[in-house]
Amino acid sequence: MLCAALLVGGTGCRGAPDARTRFPNGNAATGPAPLADTAADTARPASPPPKAAMLDSGTVALPDSQRRALLKKDSLWQKALRVHYRALVFDGHADTPTLMAEEGYDIGPRHAPAEAHLDLPRMKEGGLDAVFFSIYVPSYLGEGRRASARARRLIRTTKQQLEKHSGRAALATSAEEVRRLARNGKRAVLLGLEGGHALAASEDTLRALARQGVRYVTLTHIGTTSWADAATDTPRHGGLAPKGEDLVRAMNDAGVLVDLSHASDSTFYDALAVSRAPVILSHSSARALTPEARNVTDDMLRALAENNGLVMINFYDEYVEQPGGGPAALEDVLDHLDHAAQVAGVEHVGLGSDFDGVPRLPAGLGDATRLPWLTYGLLKRGYTAEEVYKILGGNALRVLEAAESRAAKPERDDSVAAARRR
């Protein structure tokens, strides 16, 4: 969440670059992978869908006129649309609950991009199957009852909306529930607490929020807390305080993902040292391309890969626009996805739009309906369908399952934990 101010979506798009001369895994290639329905491909037995793929019909939800125009423009769109709408597309961060609670926003009807970036009709059109709704708690509310009350209010508001639109969407608290909802044609909504100060430094509060459905906690927002340093505030602890280490372990035990977006670099490394489950960055981009404190360095990306974690690329124009490159466009987001995949590996990259939490999005990526253009862009750059399935949602499902598995086996090496506390 950056702000809930005027939300303006971009409409233009820079031309896509030519296919790269090698695939992200380093294999030599002369261009994008061939279409799956060419004569050569249809002669081979169909391979089973990857685990990251949906088990539904994969019906393309774009308007027919738009679909025909895209196919006429480039035959690669045939593959892109099939891959995108077959994939389980999973967004790591959208701030729509704040609009619900503060402006009475209803996710049921379709809205214009200038009003908001996400609603149920546009999720369907854009092939967005699952999304973490941010339970955003402003830092100025502190670490006491006001912050916790705000979190509970947004959770109630979100659940009320999901109940109102239960024929089209539902709360999910596990990877299997996400898959089940997707198979049934419903949008899966998960809850992520943005702002660890709402825990009031209490493991009991963490467990209570986990019982209400929270499946990740962003350790900080813009302000440093009593137990963790933020990326955009004066450090007080040099990373995680001992209480912060305890809370990270408690998140592991509760099946709650540790989210390190907004955390300082030192907090990032401390959390990786403590966590016994993969961590995520639910909405951050690459600092090598855009030098913002909220983005992650290449060393952090490599450490994230060793943790088996996930960075979900933020779409906010200030976090993806490149020095001297002019206003941000969809291609900049693709560059960040590509860079993270090259450094950390395809298995550690996902989508974290920050829809409804930022005032500006890149041209060509103005709302949820534009997500298929990311799939097309990745295929154009030489990524295989299997790799695209992972980036779109398979990796998010993997880390969610890993958190669930860790919670089912709460034992840990207490001697190592104690040594790290010393």
Is 115 part of the annotated catalytic residue set?
A: no
Residue 118 lies in a domain: yes
Show the tokens assigned to 208: 């209570």
Sort 30 into a burial class: Cβ within 10 Å, 0-12 / 13-18 / 19+: exposed
The question of whether 95 is a catalytic residue gets the answer yes
pLDDT of residue 59: 84
Question: Where are the alpha helices (H) located in 198-239, listed in sequence order?
Answer: 203-211
User: In whole angstroms, what is the distance from residue 85 CA to residue 79 CA?
Assistant: 10
35 lies in a domain?
A: no
Q: Of 117, 165, 197, 262, which is the active-site residue?
A: 262
pLDDT per residue as tens digits for the range 281-327: 999 999 999 999 999 999 999 999 999 999 999 999 999 999 988 89
For residue 86, give both structure tokens.
Answer: 């077959």
> Does the pLDDT value for residue 7 go beyond 70?
no
The answer to whether residue 153 is domain-embedded is yes
Which residue of the set 197, 237, 283, 336 is catalytic? 283
Residue 6 predicted with pLDDT over 60: no
**pLDDT greater at residue 376 or residue 411:** 376
262 is catalytic: yes
Catalytic residue among 91, 95, 367, 387, which? 95
| 24 domain residue, yes or no | no
- Residue at 11 is within a domain: no
Integer Cα distance of 284 and 230 in angstroms: 14
Residue 293, domain extent: 51-421
The answer, yes or no, to whether residue 25 has pLDDT greater than 60, is: no
Task: Identify the H or E element spanning 261.
Answer: none
Count how many domains the chain has. 1
Does 46 reside within a domain? no
- Non-local (6+) Cβ contacts of 364 within 8 A are 10, 11, 12, 13, 14, 329, 330, 331, 370, 373
Say if 10 falls within a structural domain. Answer: no
Each residue's pLDDT tens digit, 152-183: 999 999 999 999 999 999 999 999 999 999 99
CA 338-62-3 angle, 5° bins? 60
The one catalytic residue among 91, 125, 143, 194: 194
DSSP string, 348-416: GEEE---BTSSSB--BT--SGGGHHHHHHHHHHTT--HHHHHIIIIIHHHHHHHHHHHHHHS----HHH
Q: Which amino acid is at 220?
A: T
Give me 401's structure tokens. 């399952």
- The catalytic position among 354, 356, 367, 387 is 354
* Interatomic CA distance for residues 204 and 218, integer angstroms: 17
CATH number at residue 174: 3.20.20.140
What is the model's pTM?
0.87
Active-site hit among 84, 117, 165, 221: 221
Instruction: With respect to residue 42, please indicate whether it lies within any of the assigned structural domains.
Output: no
To the nearest whole number, what is the mean pLDDT of the chain? 88
Q: Helix-strand-coil percent breakdown of the chain, rounded to 5?
A: 45, 15, 45
Distance CA 235, CA 228 (A): 8
